[in-house]
């Protein structure tokens, strides 16, 4: 490999050579049509491999993986019958806490060396997610598959010779005796080949190890002209802030005056639509926007075709999927799965149906509800759109308002009133013996009338959501809108210690999260 290469002229030449090699390899690969198995065949093989690896663990012994594998009729059916559904809390309390205590072979062979601290979007506390060597290999496999698909997009070959700016969390890991914990980006960086890190990875280990997001960003802004960036990765809200600050600090008109070869933005975690128009204003020319589906639990897929296509799930990388219709038959009012929900395999799903994603993985998660709600945009291709979270929806009185509904309503407001909504959140509460919604909408334009925003939000939701329209004539008595500077949302994230990186402001505020937010706004108003 290239372990000796550092930054500088030699590094730049090696980077160009390797970039040319990658670009040529991708073009050559495009000329060959690779044989692929059916989605179900990939998934059957994946589950069998997972069960074979896991049968001698404590989890596998308790749930009879050996017997499941010997089932002659249908081992998938036996797996679904024998193994219950797990949420994070159930998985942690019954199994994963033993991994933190250093026990081996709990739910996956061996000892868990790394634990990813999730951003905790839906719940206040961060979660400890096991990251095994098999999962690290799975993530790399998905990454290479994504690289292969780049030939389908209109990306200049020179982009593959340039740096990749990753605006994730700190790469510093905290040693906890027998294991390390930290942001998933830190775990990935620690396991990244040194030659790859030296050649392509920006801002580099020295900056990315700084624990404070604010310190990392100041250095990135200052050093931006020293790098030739071709790709940026990160959550839209924080990437946009960084680009704006780089442009402002260096007194240029757009980011392409700093990084002329910037051609790709890889994003995920939240809908990009609220940010699309404001992103365009930061660019000197169009770039490719490629959505990915990643979490602390693994890397699941990416946009593989240009145009309005969804995220393509990778079905042969150590993750077995089940899809649970997101209905009242399968989930309670708080978004928790009911016992024995109906689940479907990849070959059984239908388009335009909302499903909660259930995973069994090579990190020792089994029939694990990850919390995402997706919709198949092309069932035959295994392409999806992420439309919300099981715990981020509002249904106080049967209005069944999803994050997807909210995004569409906010997008309509932006287009009709001509301003950009970067952040927003919605809360529900009891009101005059009935119910009401309160929207907190990010707006930096003092001339925008909150009543017009309210009217458009309400009318749009009535058009796209029949349940909402019915409840607006009965139990959902009122809708309130409060316009706040966008910085208020970011300052609050800083206040609760979740500034930057992969942290997202929740679209739905409930219970403790709502109480903390209201207290913060009240204190800020004093």
Do 304 and 312 touch, CB atoms closer than 8 A? Answer: yes
**pLDDT tops 90 at residue 194:** no
Strands 476-484 and 434-442: parallel
> What gap in Å lies between CA 245 and CA 267, rounded to an integer?
19
Q: What is the mean pLDDT of residues 160-177?
A: 82
Q: What is the mean pLDDT of residues 97-125?
A: 83
Secondary structure letter of residue 96 according to DSSP: I
Q: Indicate the pLDDT class of residue 196, thresholds 50, 70 and 90.
A: low
For 345-383, what is each residue's pLDDT tens digit? 999 999 989 999 999 999 999 999 999 999 999 999 999
How does the average pLDDT of the chain come out, rounded? Answer: 87
**pLDDT tops 60 at residue 28:** no
Do 162 and 229 touch, CB atoms closer than 8 A? Answer: yes
CA nearest neighbour of 1 among 14, 16, 13, 20: 14
Map out the domains of the chain with their CATH numbers.
Answer: 9-30+135-303 (no CATH), 403-525 (3.30.300)
Q: What is the per-residue pLDDT for 335?
A: 86
Q: Indicate the pLDDT class of residue 35, thresholds 50, 70 and 90.
A: low
**pLDDT tops 60 at residue 10:** no
Q: What is the per-residue pLDDT for 20?
A: 59
**pLDDT tops 70 at residue 302:** yes
Q: What is the per-residue pLDDT for 500?
A: 65
Higher pLDDT residue, 399 or 20? 399
Q: What is the mean pLDDT of residues 190-213?
A: 72
Higher pLDDT residue, 462 or 161? 462
**pLDDT tops 80 at residue 101:** yes
**pLDDT tops 80 at residue 15:** no
Q: Which residues pair with 166 in a beta bridge?
A: 233
φ/ψ bin of 39: left (φ > 0), alpha (ψ from -120 to 50), beta (otherwise): alpha
Q: Indicate the pLDDT class of residue 497, thresholds 50, 70 and 90.
A: confident
| pTM strictly above 0.75 | yes
Do 291 and 268 touch, CB atoms closer than 8 A? Answer: yes
**pLDDT tops 90 at residue 387:** no
**pLDDT tops 60 at residue 186:** yes
For 308-350, what is each residue's pLDDT tens digit? 889 999 999 999 999 999 988 999 878 899 999 999 999 999 9
Q: What is the mean pLDDT of residues 430-457?
A: 94
Q: What is the per-residue pLDDT for 121?
A: 46
**pLDDT tops 70 at residue 26:** no
**pLDDT tops 80 at residue 7:** no
């Amino acid at each position: 490999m290239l372990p000796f290469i550092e930054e500088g002229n030699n590094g730049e030449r090696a980077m160009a050579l390797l970039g040319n090699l990658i670009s040529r390899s991708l073009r050559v690969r495009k000329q060959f049509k690779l044989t692929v198995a059916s989605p179900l065949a990939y998934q059957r093989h994946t589950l069998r491999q997972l069960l074979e690896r896991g049968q001698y663990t404590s989890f596998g012994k308790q749930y009879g993986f050996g017997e499941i594998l010997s089932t002659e009729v249908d081992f998938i059916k036996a797996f679904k019958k024998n193994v219950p559904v797990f949420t994070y809390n159930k998985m942690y309390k019954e199994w994963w806490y033993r991994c933190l205590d250093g026990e081996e072979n709990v739910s996956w062979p061996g000892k868990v060396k790394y634990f990813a601290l999730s951003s905790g979007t839906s719940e206040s506390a961060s979660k400890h997610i096991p990251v095994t060597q098999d999962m690290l290999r799975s993530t790399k496999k998905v990454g290479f598959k994504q690289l292969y698909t780049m030939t389908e997009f209109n990306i200049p070959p020179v982009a593959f010779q340039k740096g990749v700016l990753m605006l994730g969390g700190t790469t510093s890991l905290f040693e906890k005796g027998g294991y390390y914990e930290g942001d998933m980006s830190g775990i990935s960086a620690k396991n990244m080949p040194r030659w790859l890190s030296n050649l392509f990875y920006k801002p580099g280990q020295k900056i990315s190890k700084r624990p404070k997001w604010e310190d990392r960003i100041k250095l990135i802004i200052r050093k931006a002209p020293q790098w030739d960036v071709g790709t940026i990765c990160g959550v839209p809200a924080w990437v946009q802030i960084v680009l704006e600050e780089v442009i402002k600090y260096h007194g240029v008109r757009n980011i392409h005056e700093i990084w002329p070869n910037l051609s790709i933005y890889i994003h995920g975690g939240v809908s990009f639509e609220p940010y699309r128009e404001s992103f365009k204003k930061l660019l000197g020319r169009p770039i490719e926007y490629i959505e990915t589906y990643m979490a602390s639990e693994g890397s699941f897929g990416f946009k593989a075709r240009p145009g309005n296509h969804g995220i393509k799930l990778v079905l042969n990388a150590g993750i077995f999927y089940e899809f649970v219709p997101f209905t009242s038959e399968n989930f309670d009012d708080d978004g928790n799965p009911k016992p024995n929900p109906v689940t479907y395999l990849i070959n059984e799903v239908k388009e335009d149906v909302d499903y909660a994603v259930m995973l069994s993985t090579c990190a020792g998660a089994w029939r694990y509800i990850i919390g995402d709600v997706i919709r198949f945009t092309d069932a035959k291709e295994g392409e999806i759109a992420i439309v919300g979270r099981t715990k981020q929806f509002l249904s106080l009185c049967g209005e069944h308002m999803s994050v997807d509904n909210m995004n569409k309503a906010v997008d309509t407001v932006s287009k009709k009133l001509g301003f950009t909504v970067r952040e927003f959140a919605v809360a529900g509460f009891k009101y005059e013996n009935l119910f009401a919604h309160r929207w907190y909408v990010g707006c930096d334009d003092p001339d925008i009338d909150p009543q017009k925003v309210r009217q458009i939000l309400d009318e749009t939701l009535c058009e796209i959501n029949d349940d909402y329209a019915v409840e607006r004539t009965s139990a959902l008595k009122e809708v309130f809108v409060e316009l706040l500077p966008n910085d208020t949302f970011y300052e609050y994230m800083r206040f609760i210690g979740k500034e930057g990186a992969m942290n997202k402001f929740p679209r739905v505020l409930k219970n403790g999260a709502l109480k903390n937010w209201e207290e913060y706004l009240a204190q800020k108003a004093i």
